[in-house]
Amino acid sequence: MMFTSLPSHLALTLLVALDSFSSSGGLSSAAPSPNAQPLSVPLLRRYTQPQNVTELGAWARNQRIAIETKYGIRPPVDKRSNGMNLLTNQNADSSYFGSIAVGTPPVSYDVILDTGSADFWLAASDSEGSNIESDIPRFSPPGSSSFVTQNASFSIRYGSGAAQGTLGSDVIQMAGFEVQNQVFGVVSQVSENMLNPPVSGILGLAWENIATSQVKPFWQVLAQTEGLLDEPVMAFQLTRYIDAPRVRSAEPGGTFTLGATNSSLYEGDIDYQNIPDGSVGYWILEMSSLLVQNQNLSLPEDASFAAIDTGTTLVGGPAGVIQAIYSAIPGSSAATGEYEGYYTYPCSTTVTISLGFGNSTIRWPIEPAAFRLARLSADTCLGGFFELSSSGSSAPNWIVGDVFLVKKCLFSVPRF
């Protein structure tokens, strides 16, 4: 993975290069060509703005629970009688969605693009009475002449809920590219409020290693097909609205690009870093340095792996390190109640935090405005870093979202 900086008018570009994976699990350091022609899909960002401190507290708590559940840090809630764990997503997730076409003839659906999962699924036409709103477009297997059932069940859990159905295969098209016989989930049941119109499903963009269906993701199929992509690259240019006033529930989200980089969306040099050996699954970087208010903080050697997740707004990390971060910010204190795991600090304080990754000496700053999650009162602000629960799970130590990613270019170059 690699970072570079963005022009000031851009919120975020995430560039993921998809080269061939080596037996060692390392990443290529070859730069993708800036001259190849990218094919892009416009994105929308879905977000519900908390209206007051009470709603913000519920939102913050749901964000923490959702992230910990998604990465297996927090155990799931009790099962209902149908054997599926149903959760409620009270607009806790910010998400980006774009268009994908499925079937013969092709029918277009809006899907959330999630770098923190690896499965693709769509709501099915036979999912009446299953928490899927009637105005959500649904995939109809009988309506596609190329659909083939796989005679296998499918289920997946996210921080915001769960989905359940069966597996099938069909023709998938996105950004001008096509994959025949792509296996995906045809979902007949989802958690309450997990899908909101016009979104019909989720397209996972992480690695096959973490796919609950054990199916190779759409992007990996493209990357492994010789000669299909001009350059083995996928890229996000993302917007951020959490600190914007009067934000609508759906805003322009940027673009998702396959097949090339777009040099107009970033500037500066690229800092190439490897995914740690044995850590392919999520998009992982090893955090090597942390500078807060000009103070170098120590990072435990066994607690430095960070998952880069475009579907996450905040940054979660080990409790001891998060405590050290806020200890370096004068006037900070641990929050309570709905805000447990978060910290407050004086709004008059300009917080400076920089992160470094791998063997690079470069430190990547977080803008003070991006770190400030919300203003709780005239003088008290809520920080965008929070404590992840300690569960002894195999989850990454850090989950890094938009608070850090704003105004960064992130590349990754896997070798298959």
Give the whole-angstrom CA distance, residue 232 versus residue 325: 37
DSSP state, residue 414: B
SS3 130: coil
Count of CA atoms in the C-beta half-sphere (13 A) of 150 = 18
What's phi and psi for 138, nearest 5 deg? -125, 145
Four-point Cα dihedral 277, 257, 146, 139, nearest 10: 100
Contact call for residues 413 and 25 (beta carbons, < 8 A)? no
SS3 221: helix
Pairing of strands 343-346, 380-383: antiparallel
> Catalytic residue at 277?
no
> Catalytic residue at 93?
no
- Kindly write down the DSSP assignment for every residue of 358-386, as one continuous string: TT----EEE-HHHHEEEESSSSEEEESEE
Strand partners, 42: 255
Cβ-Cβ contacts under 8 Å for 9 (sequence gap 6 or more): none
Pairing of strands 305-308, 284-292: antiparallel
Count of CA atoms in the C-beta half-sphere (13 A) of 139 = 37
Pairing of strands 95-102, 177-190: unpaired
Of the residues 119, 170, 271, 309, which is catalytic? 309
Pairing of strands 148-158, 161-174: antiparallel
Give the whole-angstrom CA distance, residue 114 versus residue 147: 24
3-state SS of 243-287 is: CCCCCCCEEEEEEEEECCCCHHHCEEEEEECCCCCCCCCCCEEEE
Give the whole-angstrom CA distance, residue 370 versus residue 240: 9
Of the residues 19, 93, 110, 114, which is catalytic? 114
Give the whole-angstrom CA distance, residue 94 versus residue 60: 12
Catalytic residues: 114, 309
